[in-house]
Amino acid sequence: MGLLTTEQLHELIELQKSHRIFLGEALIEKGFLTRKEVEAELAQFRADQQASQMMIRGALIRLKDAEMVADVLDTVLKMFKRVLHENVLIEDCREGTESWMARDWTISQRFTGDLEATFSLNVPQGLLLRMASLMLEEDLKTVDELVQDAGQEFVNIICGNIAAKLSVRNRNAGLLPPVIQPAASLKPDEQAEVVHATLISINHQFDCLIQVHGSSAV
């Protein structure tokens, strides 16, 4: 599918809001695509999603803490939807850091207790500003201490929900305070089990890194 202009994208969003219709129907109604083209794109999207899910299962199946990693990814998607109103998809998921690409900012939080692990969100500056703008209800343009604090709070919300899920499985998980730093400063633990997931929203591509340093048996 060809790229839409900014004006066309805004038209689609407004049409969806006012008529409460799916994106495909909006594309057809505005004349940007034919129904046949929309159906072909949807078929390709479903095929890509199926391939992505198989990749995710393959990445998780070999991990001792596969259930925990699955909980993390599920929680990330839900928190982006609930807090930031962003629909996020998992584009790629694999073990190791070979495909890791530093973006602008990395926000990390360490789990302690039964689970020794670190969750990191690796985001471009535009996404960090969007996080802070939505959470603080201000139109923020510059990454300052206030914006960094909001980013850390968002990761704290994610990790707090993950800890709650772990407690239901009788696993005690404490949390250290989140830390934000330029993404290039992140040095993954070479001794840890690492899962790297690349995530996409309508405007951003970003990453989630899960490092399992050690844990008790599930």
Q: How far apart are CA 157 and CA 195, in angstroms?
A: 20
How many domains are there within the chain? 1
* CATH number for position 115: 3.40.1550.10
Residue with tokens 């070479």: 190
Q: In angstroms, what is the C-alpha Rg of the chain?
A: 19
Return phi, psi of residue 216, to 5°: -75, 165
Q: How far is CA 121 from CA 101, 206, 216, in A?
A: 12, 8, 24
Predicted confidence at residue 193, as pLDDT, reads 82
30 part of a folded domain: no
Sign of the CA dihedral 31, 33, 35, 38? negative
24 part of a folded domain: no
42 part of a folded domain: no
Predicted confidence at residue 122, as pLDDT, reads 94
Q: How far is CA 94 from CA 55, 175, 188, in A?
A: 7, 25, 15
Contact 114, 172 (CB under 8 A): yes
- Contacts of 133 by beta carbon, 8 Å cutoff, 6+ apart: 139, 140
Predicted confidence at residue 1, as pLDDT, reads 46
- What is the token pair recorded at 193? 């089990």
122 part of a folded domain: yes
Q: 3-class SS at 45?
A: helix
Structural domain that includes position 129? 64-215
Predicted confidence at residue 50, as pLDDT, reads 67
48 part of a folded domain: no
116 part of a folded domain: yes
14 part of a folded domain: no
Predicted confidence at residue 197, as pLDDT, reads 87
Contact 27, 34 (CB under 8 A): no
Predicted confidence at residue 31, as pLDDT, reads 78
Predicted confidence at residue 63, as pLDDT, reads 61
Q: 3-class SS at 97?
A: coil
Predicted confidence at residue 6, as pLDDT, reads 63
211 part of a folded domain: yes
Sign of the CA dihedral 194, 197, 198, 204? negative
Predicted confidence at residue 106, as pLDDT, reads 94
Provide the H-helix boundaries in the chain. 6-19, 23-29, 35-61, 66-84, 125-136, 145-168
Averages of pLDDT over each 10 residues, the chain, 218 residues: 60 68 73 80 71 61 68 87 85 76 91 88 94 92 95 95 84 90 80 86 89 60
Residue with tokens 């001794």: 191
Q: 3-class SS at 50?
A: helix
